[in-house]
Chains A and B, each alone.
Chain A
Amino acid sequence: ILNVEQSPQSLHVQEGDSTNFTCSFPSSNFYALHWYRWETAKSPEALFVMTLNGDEKKKGRISATLNTKEGYSYLYIKGSQPEDSATYLCAFEKNAGNNRKLIWGLGTSLAVNP
């Protein structure tokens, strides 16, 4: 059984705060680690797909790092804004040839208070 765990489960921050959350995943048979953003009443949207150990990706105020040897990824949000309020999901993709399935975490729910 492959487990993808995210922490914390939920987070409340003030506008302007910087924050980060963790995704842990199996370190064996690694292929890729995905981050998605899911706003209430919408569908998940991809943020990053990361494949290499030490990878660091950035999109605006959001960035992510990847450590495949120890099996974790961090997502950082700098200067949180109310529009950043969403659930942030990570998903592990194992090296399984043509079977491109994702194993999803339960997400970190972020609320940014104005």
Chain B
Amino acid sequence: NAGVTQTPKFRVLKTGQSMTLLCAQDMNHEYMYWYRQDPGMGLRLIHYSVGEGTTAKGEVPDGYNVSRLKKQNFLLGLESAAPSQTSVYFCASSSSVNNEQFFGPGTRLTVL
């Protein structure tokens, strides 16, 4: 039982490059979330999903897209990376029972 996994763990991009971050969970959770964490800002919600095939915007969705084609996976895409997207990205999942969120280990992204 791996819980929530994220790939990659680290990545360095140049401005304008694209990439996809993968989040996978094996707990059959309905809800999945992508957050970014920046110094002094706390956790900010980028996008989330309440079920397979559905996604919704969070607080800071601009510059990001997401897809949830399978219940266990939630992908976060950056189409044209900008230095402002340098951050640590956390994925989380939760069940509809109490929404207790289980977090992945994080992805540290640097955009030069």
Instruction: Give the B-binding residues of A (Cβ under 8 A).
Output: 32, 34, 36, 42-46, 49, 51, 89, 93, 98-102, 104-107
11 extra A-B contacts, CB within 8 A, seeds A99-B56, A105-B42, A106-B41 = A34-B99, A34-B100, A44-B43, A93-B99, A98-B50, A101-B45, A101-B48, A102-B45, A102-B99, A102-B101, A107-B42
Of B12-20, B66-74, B76-84, B90-98, the one with at least 4 CB within 8 A of chain A: B90-98
Size range of the chain B interface in the assembly = 20 to 34
Q: Are A104 and B99 in contact (CB under 8 A)?
A: no
Tell me if B's interface is mostly helix, strand, loop or mixed. Answer: strand
Q: Are B98 and A49 in contact (CB under 8 A)?
A: yes
Instruction: Give the A-binding residues of B (Cβ under 8 A).
Output: 31, 33, 40-45, 48, 50, 56, 58, 90, 94, 96, 98-106
Q: Are B42 and A43 in contact (CB under 8 A)?
A: no
Contacts of A49 in B (CB 8 A): 98-100
| Cα distance, A18 to B72, chains bound together (Å) | 41
| Cα distance, A53 to B101, chains bound together (Å) | 21
Known contacts A89-B43, A106-B42; A100 and B103 CB within 8 A of each other:
no
Known contacts A43-B106, A45-B103, A93-B99; A104 and B43 CB within 8 A of each other:
yes
For residue A83, give the distance in angstroms from its CB to the closest CB of chain B: 19
For residue B95, give the distance in angstroms from its CB to the closest CB of chain A: 10
Contacts of B40 in A (CB 8 A): 106
**Residue of A36, A42, A100 with most partner-chain B CB within 10 A:** A100
Nearest opposing residue in chain B for A98, CB measure? B50
